[in-house]
Amino acid sequence: MQPSPDASRVTDDELDAVFAALAAPARRRMLDLLQAAPGSTIAALAAHFDMSAVGVLKHVRVLERAGLLLTRKHGRERLLFVNLVPIQLIYDRWTNAYASFWSEQVVDLKQRLESRTSRSKHTERKRA
Amino acid sequence: MPDVPAKPTNVFRVFIRASIHDVWKEITRTDAPIACFFNNRMHLGRAGLQPGSTIAMRTVSGKFTGVVGEILEVVPPTRFSHTFKFTNMDDPPCVVTYELRDVSGQTEFTLIISDVLQGSKTQKQMTQGGTLIVNTLKSVMETGRPSFGTRMLFVLFKLLEPISPAKCRSERWPVN
């Protein structure tokens, strides 16, 4: 099977970074926590973990490099946000390759529905 | 620009293999529907693309308006911000900001959603919609069209347009 044209949208390096970042329970938990509480500070995030501040920061950096975690300055604070776009791109990377399987069916359905609509309009006009 | 910066609620980021100028042109165009904004067409008030001007996102036919707002900031090609209100919801407007950054000829694109009423319908929509917006923009800039799933979604929108609620009719949301 030909790779999907969408495959080119994600490079191998980007894939590696995301998979490596997700291959640690602590980092997956960080994403869960940030999704539940967007805009947490590093201190608030660290409070959930029994590890040193340096350890937490190290994990945050790995997630940040993979694009899964974003930090933004707000006033004097640095807020953390989860960014699920890289995971969506990975999903698309494989699933879009199979999309053509049913794409024709849906397009066909659309055409049949539309021709039926225009036909019934035609009939209405004739009745009037 | 508001005196107190709005507090971000959600942030979405994608790296796009296209120039910052091309990406800016795509998200501010008014001559055609913008795929990443759910294939809506951007209509601006008489003042055009500048702060204070009204903005309305309308269906391809122009009959229905899904989103209205007021432009807050326009700094080509790095920053575009406007208030954002869904016409079919009673929630107060939130703020959307698009940040573009040139990274060696390519573009880091960030969508920031701020000042959303917690627990509102708007918040739910924005959280779900953000990923689709940045993902579709990347797709359009890099491959020339949205992903297959998104294209199917547009077909669905077109089929469902006639049953849009009356309060979304464009004559209720004029731009000036």
A-contacting residues in B 95-134 (Cβ below 8 Å): 110, 112, 131, 134
- Say which residue, A115 or A85, is predicted with more confidence: A85
B107: helix, coil or strand? strand
Q: What is the pLDDT of residue B156?
A: 86
pLDDT at A15 over 60: yes
Query: Predicted ipTM?
Result: 0.81
When scoring A4, A6, A9, A73 by the number of chain B Cβ atoms within 10 A, the one with the most, hence best to mutate, is A9
Summarize pLDDT for B41-70 with one digit per residue, the tens: 999 999 999 999 999 999 999 999 999 999
Determine the Cα–Cα distance for residues B14 and B31; give it in Å rounded to an integer.
25
Q: Cβ of B5 and A75 within 8 Å?
A: yes
Q: How far A119 CA lies from chain B's nearest CA (Å)?
A: 16
B30 neighbors B134 (Cβ within 8 angstroms): no
Q: Cβ of B135 and A92 within 8 Å?
A: yes
Q: Cβ of A92 and B147 within 8 Å?
A: yes
Q: What is the pLDDT of residue A50?
A: 96
User: How far, in Å, are A54, B83, B123, B140 from residue B92 at the CA level?
Assistant: 41, 10, 11, 31
Q: Is A74 on the interface with B (CB under 8 A)?
A: yes
Q: What is the pLDDT of residue B152?
A: 83
CA B18 to chain centre: 19
Q: Is B13 on the interface with A (CB under 8 A)?
A: yes
A-contacting residues in B 15-74 (Cβ below 8 Å): 15
Helical ranges in A1-128 per DSSP H: 12-22, 25-36, 42-46, 53-65, 85-95, 100-127
Summarize pLDDT for A57-106 with one digit per residue, the tens: 999 999 999 999 999 998 899 999 999 999 988 888 887 666 655 666 66
* List of chain B residues with pLDDT < 70: 1-5
Nearest residue, CB atoms, B8 vs list A79, A84, A113? A79
pLDDT at A111 over 90: no
Q: Is A83 on the interface with B (CB under 8 A)?
A: yes
Report the half-sphere exposure of B34 (CA within 13 A, side-chain side). 22
Q: Is B141 on the interface with A (CB under 8 A)?
A: no
